Structure 1
Amino acid sequence: MSAIWLAGQGLTQSECTVDFPRPERLVNGNPERQTYSLYEHPHMDCGIWHCEAGAWNIVFADNKQEFFNVIEGLVRLHHKHSNITIEIGAGDAGIIPPGFEGTFEVVQAVKKYYVIVEV
């Protein structure tokens, strides 16, 4: 696993939580998702996320957004309303803005740093 260092405290640690997309949102496969929430603060959560190949529909609330940086693998984000698809691979970063609706597709097993902000 990659690491996140917290200023003044050192290396962060977390237990792994495992989940799967809700059946009604599945588009392809049933990928296992592993989340290491390594820092939580009011209205913010960040950590490392692993996921197998697959795809599911997502709907972000108007007060929620995510920044992420792909460490390994490849994902595609398909926007529901504009039919625009973007690919984000190792070394690239992406943002899922508030109110985004579309499909999150893991093309190659992915590992990413994530920061989720709710305001």
Structure 2
Amino acid sequence: MSGIVHFSQQQIEPAFDHPRSDRLEAGNPLRTTFEHYARDGISSGIWCCEAGRWRIRFALNKHEFFSVIRGRVRLHDADGAVVEVGPGEAAVIPAGFVGQFEVLEAVEKYFVVVETTGA
């Protein structure tokens, strides 16, 4: 049996990246990921990002729940609908989502990504 993963009690080395250049729409934001847990198709941690906007396309088996700690993001779907998420709020990006992810104010968020396998 594995122990409980308590984020504040772990020392995690961050991973740094930027959105792919062919997906960028505004800025070139630095993204910092602290992955605290990864097992059996589930990963979770803390993600930070500077302001910017880029296109995203989720695989048909990938879902993400996130909760904003600080900052503000806006998601634009392919049909033009827009959802803004700020501190204390949460959202789910469903499998197959196509649109843009926009960081309006430098953001820090908890995330849980689930990648399912075929039945």
Native 8 Å contact 1:68 1:113 kept in 2: yes
- Would you identify which runs of 4 or more consecutive aligned residues in structure 1 move more than 6 Å? none
1:25 and 1:94 map into 2 onto residues whose CA distance is 22
Tell me, in whole angstroms, the C-alpha distance in 2 between the residues paired with 1:17 and 1:100: 24
Match for residue 55 of structure 2?
A: 57
Alpha-carbon separation, structure 2, partners of 1:12 and 1:77: 30
Offset at residue 92 of structure 1 (A): 0.2
* Equivalent position SS for 2:29: coil
Give the superposition deviation at 1:14. 1.4
**1:113 aligned onto 2:83:** no
Q: Which amino acid aligns with 1:74?
A: R
RMSD (Å) for aligned C-alpha atoms: 1.1
User: Identity of counterpart residues, as a percentage?
Assistant: 49
Aligned partner of 1:19 in structure 2 is: 17
| Unaligned runs of at least 5 residues, structure 2 | none
Q: Which residue of 1 aligns with 2:72?
A: 74
CA distances 1:67-106 after superposition (whole Å, capped 9, x unpaired): 00000000000001x2100000000001000000000000
User: Higher strand proportion, which one?
Assistant: 1
Q: Unaligned 5+ residue runs, structure 1? A: 1-5
Q: Give the deviation of 1:43 after TM superposition.
A: 0.4
Q: How many residues align?
A: 112
TM-score when normalising by structure 2: 0.91
Aligned-residue offset at 1:42: 1.1
Residue 12 of structure 1 deviates from its aligned partner by 3.1
2:87 aligns with 90
- In structure 2, C-alpha distance between the alignment counterparts of 1:118 and 1:42, rounded to whole Å: 8
The normalised TM-score by structure 1 is: 0.91
Q: Which amino acid is the alignment partner of residue 56 of structure 2?
A: I
